[in-house]
Structure 1
Amino acid sequence: MITERLVGLVDRADRLLAAVPSAVPLLALRVALAIPFWRSGLTKWDGFLNLSSGARYLFEQEFRLHIFGQAFAYPAPLAMAFLAGMGEIVLPILLVLGLGTRFAALGIFAMTIIIQLTIPDGFVNFHLPWFAMALTLLVYGGGTLSADRLLGALFASRLKESAHPAH
């Protein structure tokens, strides 16, 4: 009898948790993934499109790509710093808005691969969660609480109206 009640309680709790709309965790995931990249992006700029001296130094002197047991200097380090800085500002904004979510997540995923090659020791604490979050957004998109969904619905209704104009 106690077992049946316990199973019933667990079943009800499971149904309640399953009733949470998927848009809520997808929004939380978009924000959670955006924050560390945004914060890092802010450190790369000293004004509009002006790389900070710290970013210049890191990409030219410190950062190395660790591939097959070797450490290689970044090719075109200032171009890489500029692209990283732009990506770390633009992609988080797109993620939070849910605008081009899958493409923004793909950009973050690609950046995380490069970050992993640059800082191999960060895999478990940082890069693995970023990979998982970006992969989830790649697969599921931004959800119903996203600009993607809003714009998709707007374009769909416009297409429907143009296909069947009112008399």
Structure 2
Amino acid sequence: MQPLARTLTTVDRFGNWSADLPLRLFLAWEFFESGLEKFNGSNWFADIQGSFPFPFNVLPPDLNWQLSMWAELLLPLLLLLGLGTRLASAGLMVITVVAIAAVHWPSQWSGLAELAQGYTITDRGFGNFKLPLIYLVALLPLLLKGAGRLSLDHWIKARIAARA
């Protein structure tokens, strides 16, 4: 076997075990940090309640705050452990879509050129949806494929298969 082929085979084996781990660590940190900010901060959801999509726009702001805070504290821990990864990813995607709709989407835009101005990480009045969109894209492989081999999901599945 050629040295390059041997190296690529080794990288493939390593990737099969750990390719998802950087995504899980990154997303767990980002969402947990947001949950801690809510835990230590004051509820500002009443100011944007009308911007929430259904059904969150009909829930009381205090309930939305609690749901968001606890989801952003607990679901990242599941991601970190690789336990219920698909469910945790779906929950975090819902939170992110609500955040885009309520906070990050431009309040007014008349064309794609104006909408594209919101694709930024600094808020200059055109929205600020680049970072939440990055989170959605990073969550997608975890939702579709799961946590991979280096996870409690994989360990539990292997234990169940061994008993069957």
CA 74–39 in structure 1, closer or farther in 2 if over 3 Å, else same: farther
Amino acid at match of 1:144: R
Larger gyration radius, structure 1 or structure 2: 1
Partner of 1:163: none
Per-residue deviation, residues 88-136 of structure 1 (Å, max 9, x unmatched): 0010000000000000000011111001012222322x11111111111
Aligned partners of 1:41 and 1:84 also within 8 Å: yes
Moved over 6 A (4+): none
Partner of 1:84: 68
Q: How far apart are the structure 1 equivalents of 2:66 and 2:51?
A: 17
Q: How far apart are the structure 2 equivalents of 1:130 and 1:147?
A: 22
User: TM-score scaled by structure 1?
Assistant: 0.71
Instruction: Give how far 1:13 is off.
Output: 10
Instruction: Give how far 1:153 is off.
Output: 1.0
Aligned partners of 2:16 and 2:148 also within 8 Å: yes
More strand by share: 1
Partner of 2:28: 34
Partner of 2:156: 151
Partner of 1:15: 8
More deviation, 89-98/35-44: 35-44
Instruction: Give how far 1:36 is off.
Output: 1.2
Partner of 1:5: none
Identity of aligned residues (%): 28
CA 18–156 in structure 1, closer or farther in 2 if over 3 Å, else same: closer
- Residue segments in structure 1 that go unaligned for 5+ positions in a row: 1-7, 47-51, 68-72, 161-167
Task: Note the aligned Cα RMSD (angstroms).
Answer: 2.7
Aligned partners of 1:98 and 1:147 also within 8 Å: yes
Aligned partners of 1:98 and 1:145 also within 8 Å: yes
Q: How many residue pairs were aligned?
A: 138
Q: 1:44 aligns with which of 33, 38, 46?
A: 38
Instruction: Give how far 1:140 is off.
Output: 1.2
Per-residue deviation, residues 28-49 of structure 1 (Å, max 9, x unmatched): 1111111111001012225xxx
Q: Secondary structure at the match of 1:122?
A: coil
User: TM-score scaled by structure 2?
Assistant: 0.72
